[in-house]
Structure 1
């Protein structure tokens, strides 16, 4: 795909949205920001909910691609997840279909496979592992991936669903030595997802080049993703402070970590 110039960024006021607002323009993108909250430093941002059909239609007009981050970013009561993450994502895809937008980068999550146990041999987990959501939040990400597949097959919209790991300026836990996604690598990953070769719907894990990586980056690298950061830089200090994780600790045993213990 030729590099899109006009990109709609939903969830632009959030943590990852803020990172991308600051970093994607350097790759040549013009961003149109959308959030239900005011977006700092973006007076022209569209402040609206995903349920607002008129606002979504206006936001889609003339854009080449969408980076869809909007939604509740963690576990919540099902009714809230249903409105924001499930119905909201459906409305976004249907607005993209109506506007003829050819590509969407969809923020999925490792929690779509959260109840998957880590392989005993320490090998990385492939993107074709069956969905096993760990929460209503994870369930909503499974819905988003399946909706993307439907809209690819039925309407020809290309989607890259990014199963994002632990996005943070630096890893804060021993678990994050395997799941960390640095801000710089996050930008590289989204750029690759916007420009790389996609046939229909592609799933890719979103982590940095971690020595202790939990997930296989083959599909991400096929898009052109070249991560440069490694959580191992922080390993000695984190382990000295917090100790190693045990095999039975949910943070180590399951891909979703403590989300497998979550209650809405």
Structure 2
């Protein structure tokens, strides 16, 4: 049973794909779910609040954070692209979020980091949270910055953060790479719930993946969070193999964990 550990929980990036997947699920975690994005995504339902905010607007972010007890931060640019928008949303925007959290006494954040923080490790490597970042993109660099920023706010101000390096969260794996990186929507919710309810979170890095037989990531340093995935990409393996061809091992997309992100761009500012 999911515990309603917080009276008011903020979900940013609520209009995005994962935000939509979590909107109903996260209502089990709180009495009131505050939803935010930069674009209008319709009216609030029962037990919801909606506050639109551009993450680069410090005043709007301050108002968005006021009155909440915890934050699930999915907002920002979620793909590789020009640095300007990434800078505004993922770097300045995250600073604005943590400053607002500090000012309003919000002491727990679940930060949607990304597997692209470590995308330049090879697919034959197995890494854990102690492995140095090797971003595969400007997007990955922005998430590495976010992990460092959240560490600073923990060390200086005691704001606990789970940096969830989300793999590939879709209804099912789309290709062979996702057999290793897949995270079901239900397991994503289980992971966020564990981050919100573990007694002592500290500053933690946890890889967001389901119970996949093939994996490049080891969550041995996140056992204190208590995340136990219940889904697996294995049930999709035969179908994925049937519709995809064997990888070209000379292709960087097949060599590195970041997949297509390692060759994306360049982009204009």
TM-score range with shorter-chain normalisation?
A: over 0.9
Residues 117 and 211 of structure 1: is their aligned pair in 2 closer, same or farther, counting only changes over 3 Å? same
1:209-245 Cα offsets, whole Å, 9 max, x none, are 1111221122444311111111010101111221333
1:143 matched to which residue of 2?
145
Residues 27 and 2 of structure 1: is their aligned pair in 2 closer, same or farther, counting only changes over 3 Å? closer
Q: Distance in 1 between matches of 2:43 and 2:183?
A: 25
Residues 217 and 29 of structure 1: is their aligned pair in 2 closer, same or farther, counting only changes over 3 Å? farther
Give the TM-score, by structure 1 length.
0.93
1:55 matched to which residue of 2?
60
Contact 2:8–2:67, Cα closer than 8 Å, also in 1 = yes
- 1:203 paired residue among 202, 205, 212: 205
Alignment of 1:167-178 (within 5 A): 167-178=169-180
1:17-56 Cα offsets, whole Å, 9 max, x none, are 1111121112445211111011334274111201223322
Q: Distance in 1 between matches of 2:212 and 2:222?
A: 14
SS of 1:167 mapped into structure 2: coil
Give the C-alpha shift of residue 172 in structure 1. Answer: 0.8
Give the C-alpha shift of residue 110 in structure 1. Answer: 0.6
1:82-138 Cα offsets, whole Å, 9 max, x none, are 111100001100010000100110000011111112336xxx321111111111100
Q: Distance in 1 between matches of 2:36 and 2:72?
A: 10
Give the C-alpha shift of residue 257 in structure 1. Answer: 1.1
Alignment of 1:129-168 (within 5 A): 129-168=131-170
Q: Distance in 1 between matches of 2:64 and 2:140?
A: 27
The alignment covers a number of residue pairs equal to 261
- 5+ residue gaps, structure 1, are none
Give the TM-score, by structure 2 length.
0.91
